[in-house]
């Protein structure tokens, strides 16, 4: 038993050395390698248009749209989006954050590389002759000079630095996707806000036209009242309707001003007016891509961001496991030390040292176990967040498709209603002028027409905003074309097209 224990004591460092050599030669790293988890996703969208071309057509169409908002055909809108992508402060912050994480990758990777340094010193001192009792022939003043180069290297035997570097790269990629998500949200918000502004312009136009018509009615009824053709009650009804139209205009004008101010700040300006190119009715309606493939949604920035956060959490499990094992550090120095500066670099002044250090844990009070449990728990959190993000993304697309179908039907119905009410107003006025009905019927019909025209304007805006929501829900590579990666990130070689695990 005693002999066996001696063999065991001598075998342990040999075994550690063998494992260390094997790890250095093969580049092994502790912890699980990342494998994309299987996710249950639907094969098709619930409200997709099944009568349109197939998924390959949809993919090809998306690939040929460098900037989807340009399909609206409004050059002022295009300029507004370009201005926002260049000057929006949120996007600038997100871009700077990418540069920050690119630097983190470099700093983390540097931990596994040899560290070189230098040092020099010069000292002059006088010894106390009263204490040292030096002979008179020996000067109490002495000089000391030294110059050394140093090197140190902590061997990454267990892959801790490699796993931390893997996590840092994944966090960089996640931050890049967050930046692309900011750009996607920014573009969608600018376009949606512009559509809302045109919607409000149309509502103001309808309200002003209604106000002008009711002003003319007031003038006509005033002349009839003066001639005794109508009663004062009818005159008051006409006046009240006129004032109702007057009261609606300031509310819309306020909303227009606030929407202009919101868009101005969004594109990086001080609050001010926004130039419009087309009216709401003149905008081209982008076609709804049919047969959208379900795997298209895996290019959404938030999904890729969530996956990279999962990659980082998975890699940090290996970094936590490496805490169980010893660390090996090599240090060395070389240079010269002399009492005279002119002999500092001569042969006798040479000095050097070399040392190796092995440090490992014996008892940590459960801290290492706790660190490993934390790492595994964070991975489970990241996994559930990734799966939830995918489900939410599919919901966003189906919600947008459902809204598009509903708004398309609603717009068609309201257009028919406006046509019918326009004719009804003509008929009721004819009936009133010929004494077949009272003016209350005319007022009711005009109110209905006014309400229907406002509803039609809002429905048209909602239909376009639903299309914007669809593009935002699908994500897309066009954002990278408009908002290229920061130069610092391009230098790290971690672009989406080249980054692999």
Total residues found in the chain within this entry: 501
In the prediction, which pLDDT does 130 show? 67
Tokens of 358: 């092995």
pLDDT over threshold 50, residue 201: yes
pLDDT band, very low/low/confident/very high, at 68 (cuts 50, 70, 90):
confident
User: Computed over its alpha carbons, how large is the radius of gyration of the chain?
Assistant: 38
What confidence tens digit (pLDDT) does each residue in 106-120 have? 998 988 888 999 888
**Owner of token pair 């996640």:** 174
pLDDT over threshold 80, residue 200: yes
pLDDT band, very low/low/confident/very high, at 172 (cuts 50, 70, 90):
very high
Report percent pLDDT > 70 for the chain. 81
At 33, give phi and psi (nearest 5°). Answer: -75, 145
Rounded to an integer, what distance in angstroms lies between the CA atom of residue 320 and that of residue 375?
A: 7
Burial of 131 (0-12, 13-18, 19+ CB in 10 A): exposed
pLDDT over threshold 90, residue 264: yes
Angle at 64 between CA 59 and CA 67, to 5 degrees: 110
CA dist list (Å): 211 to 372, 421, 426, 439, 450: 72, 17, 17, 18, 10
Closest Cα to residue 183, out of 494, 488, 487, 485? 485
In the prediction, which pLDDT does 441 show? 86
Element holding 260 (H helix, E strand): helix 232-266
Rounded to an integer, what distance in angstroms lies between the CA atom of residue 459 and that of residue 404?
A: 11
Rounded to an integer, what distance in angstroms lies between the CA atom of residue 150 and that of residue 353?
A: 9
pLDDT over threshold 70, residue 55: no
Rounded to an integer, what distance in angstroms lies between the CA atom of residue 297 and that of residue 389?
A: 11
Choose the most confident range, by mean pLDDT, from 103-117, 134-148, 462-476.
103-117
Rounded to an integer, what distance in angstroms lies between the CA atom of residue 168 and that of residue 15?
A: 31
Helix 75-87 vs helix 160-226: crossing angle, to nearest 10: 140
Cβ of 300: how many Cβ atoms within 10 Å?
25
Within 27-144, residue ranges assigned H as helices are 55-63, 75-87, 89-110, 129-132
Beta-bridge mates of residue 152: 115, 331
Query: Higher model confidence: residue 129 or residue 239?
Result: 239
Over residues 63-85, mean pLDDT: 82
Tokens of 134: 């030096």
pLDDT band, very low/low/confident/very high, at 386 (cuts 50, 70, 90):
very high
Rounded to an integer, what distance in angstroms lies between the CA atom of residue 327 and that of residue 155?
A: 7
Lowest mean pLDDT among 69-73, 90-94, 159-163, 339-343: 339-343
pLDDT over threshold 80, residue 13: no
Query: Higher model confidence: residue 432 or residue 272?
Result: 272
Secondary structure of residue 131 in the 3-state scheme: helix
Over residues 134-138, mean pLDDT: 68
Residues 6+ away with beta carbon under 8 Å from 317: 31, 32, 163, 372, 375, 376, 379
pLDDT band, very low/low/confident/very high, at 419 (cuts 50, 70, 90):
very high
In the prediction, which pLDDT does 407 show? 92
Over residues 415-428, mean pLDDT: 93
> Quick check: 476 and 87 in contact, CB under 8 A?
no
pLDDT band, very low/low/confident/very high, at 336 (cuts 50, 70, 90):
confident
Beta-bridge mates of residue 337: 146
In the prediction, which pLDDT does 482 show? 44
What own/partner pairs with CB < 8 Å and gap ≥ 24 does 453-456 have? Answer: 453/206, 453/210, 453/418, 454/203, 454/206, 454/207, 455/414, 456/411, 456/414, 456/415, 456/417, 456/418
What average pLDDT is seen over the chain?
A: 81
pLDDT over threshold 70, residue 462: yes
Number of alpha helices (DSSP H) and beta strands (DSSP E) in the chain:
12, 4
**Owner of token pair 């290019």:** 299
pLDDT over threshold 50, residue 218: yes
């Amino acid at each position: 038993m005693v002999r066996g224990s001696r063999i065991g004591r001598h075998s342990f460092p040999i075994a550690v050395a063998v494992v260390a050599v094997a790890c250095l030669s093969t580049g092994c790293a502790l912890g699980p390698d990342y494998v994309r988890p299987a996710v249950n996703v639907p094969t098709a969208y619930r409200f997709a248009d099944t009568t349109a071309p197939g998924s390959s057509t949809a993919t090809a169409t998306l690939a040929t749209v460098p900037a989807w908002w340009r399909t609206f055909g409004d050059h002022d809108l295009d300029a507004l989006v370009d201005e926002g992508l260049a000057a929006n402060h949120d996007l600038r912050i997100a871009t700077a954050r990418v540069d920050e994480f690119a630097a983190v990758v470099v700093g983390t990777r540097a931990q596994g590389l040899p560290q070189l340094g230098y040092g020099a010193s010069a000292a002059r001192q006088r010894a106390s002759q009263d204490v040292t009792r030096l002979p008179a022939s020996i000067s109490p003043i002495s000089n000391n000079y030294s110059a050394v180069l140093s090197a140190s290297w902590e061997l990454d035997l267990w892959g801790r630095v490699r796993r931390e570097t893997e996590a840092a790269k994944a966090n960089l990629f996640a931050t890049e996707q967050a930046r692309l998500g900011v750009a996607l949200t920014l573009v969608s918000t600018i376009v949606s806000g512009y559509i809302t502004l045109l919607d409000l312009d149309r509502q103001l136009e309808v309200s002003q036209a209604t106000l002008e018509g009711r002003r003319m009615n007031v003038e006509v009824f005033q002349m009839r009242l003066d001639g005794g053709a109508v009663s004062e009650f009818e005159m008051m009804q006409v006046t009240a309707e006129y004032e109702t139209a007057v009261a609606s205009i300031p509310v819309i004008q306020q909303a227009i001003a606030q929407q202009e101010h919101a868009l101005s700040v969004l594109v990086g300006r001080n609050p001010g007016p926004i130039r419009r190119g087309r009216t709401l009715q003149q905008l081209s309606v982008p076609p709804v891509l049919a047969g959208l493939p379900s795997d298209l949604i895996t290019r959404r920035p938030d999904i890729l961001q969530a996956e990279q956060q999962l990659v980082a959490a998975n890699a940090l499990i290996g970094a936590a496991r490496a805490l169980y094992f010893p660390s090996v550090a090599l240090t060395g120095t070389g240079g010269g030390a002399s009492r005279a500066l002119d002999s500092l670099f001569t042969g006798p002044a040479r000095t050097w040292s070399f040392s190796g250090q092995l440090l490992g844990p014996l008892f940590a009070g459960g801290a290492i176990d706790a660190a490993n449990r934390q790492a595994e728990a964070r991975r489970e959190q990241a996994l559930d967040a990734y799966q939830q993000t995918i489900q939410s993304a599919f919901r966003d697309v189906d919600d947008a498709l459902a809204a598009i179908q509903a708004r398309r039907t609603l717009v068609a119905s309201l257009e028919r209603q406006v046509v019918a009410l326009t004719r009804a107003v003509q008929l009721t006025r004819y009936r009133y002028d010929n004494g077949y009905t009272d003016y209350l019927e005319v007022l009711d019909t005009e109110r209905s027409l006014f309400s229907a025209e406002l509803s039609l304007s809002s429905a048209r805006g909602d239909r376009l905003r639903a299309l914007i929501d669809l593009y935002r829900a699908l994500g897309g590579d066009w954002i990278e074309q408009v908002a290229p990666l920061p130069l610092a990130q391009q230098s790290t070689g971690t672009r989406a097209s080249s980054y692999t695990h």
